[in-house]
Chain A
């Protein structure tokens, strides 16, 4: 048993050394102007510019077809948009390199949320995205009021509901 104990001790030391390097960024919400962007829609049509949506809150969700938690959020996005129809703009910004794969995915799932395409990743870089999925809530004045890294629900629904009842 002494050999196994030695092996376990050695790897406990190794593990400790590695964990010292671990960096768990703490997300803090700082209200700041949202960087403007203009992105094409999936399926064609006029591109969407963020600044043109000033006057109502906007949710920008960065997602990809290879990201399982992103795909799980899609039905919730549709429900959120339907609940606040006309008062909220929800934009699902896809970062896949293959637009055809995105089109197949959207058609197969019957997604109703507007999908914008950014295969080069300039928009997530501008917003400082740190994980996938990543949701950003922008108020009617164009300021970022909330960032959610990872599974957005139920937090996203709570933030949007609070934003829309604020006088």
Chain B
């Protein structure tokens, strides 16, 4: 039952994200593709930090990829 509740919460969050979105033209995505919008200054630094936390805390994972959604091919 708890798993179903978690799934539903995630789905609603996702749906609300979609509903709140604006249309962004492909040429307007410079900010979204900016290096400073990434999850970490470099992928290597992000991985090193997650390694530090992973060794010292029980929780792991769930952090997702680094999609920039610049819409570039």
Q: Does B70 contact A (CB under 8 A)?
A: yes
CB neighbours of A18 from chain B (8 A)? 14
User: Smallest CB-CB separation from B30: which chain A residue?
Assistant: A66
CB neighbours of B11 from chain A (8 A)? 14, 17
| Contact A95 B27, CB 8 Å, known A7-B3, A10-B3, A66-B34 | yes
Asked whether, in the complex, the Cβ of B26 is within 8 Å of the Cβ of A134, the reply is yes
Give chain A's interface residues, CB within 8 Å of chain B. 3, 6-7, 10-11, 14, 17-18, 21, 62, 64, 66-70, 95-97, 121, 124-125, 129-134, 149-151
Question: Number of B residues whose C-beta is below 8 Å from A?
Answer: 19
CB neighbours of B16 from chain A (8 A)? none
User: A95–B71 Cα gap in the complex (Å)?
Assistant: 14
- At the interface, is chain A mostly helix, strand, loop or mixed? mixed
> What 10 A-B pairs are tightest by C-beta distance, nearest first?
A150-B73, A95-B27, A66-B33, A10-B7, A132-B26, A66-B30, A67-B72, A124-B27, A121-B27, A69-B73
Give chain B's interface residues, CB within 8 Å of chain A. 3-4, 7, 10-11, 14, 18, 25-30, 33-34, 70-73
User: A25–B38 Cα gap in the complex (Å)?
Assistant: 28
Asked whether, in the complex, the Cβ of B27 is within 8 Å of the Cβ of A64, the reply is yes
Partner of B3 from the list A3, A149, A151 (CB cut-off 8 Å) is: A3
User: Smallest CB-CB separation from A14: which chain B residue?
Assistant: B11
Asked whether, in the complex, the Cβ of B72 is within 8 Å of the Cβ of A10, the reply is no
- Chain A nearest CB from B38 CB (Å) reads 12
Asked whether, in the complex, the Cβ of B72 is within 8 Å of the Cβ of A68, the reply is yes
Residue of A17, A18, A67, A125 most packed against chain B (CB within 10 A): A67
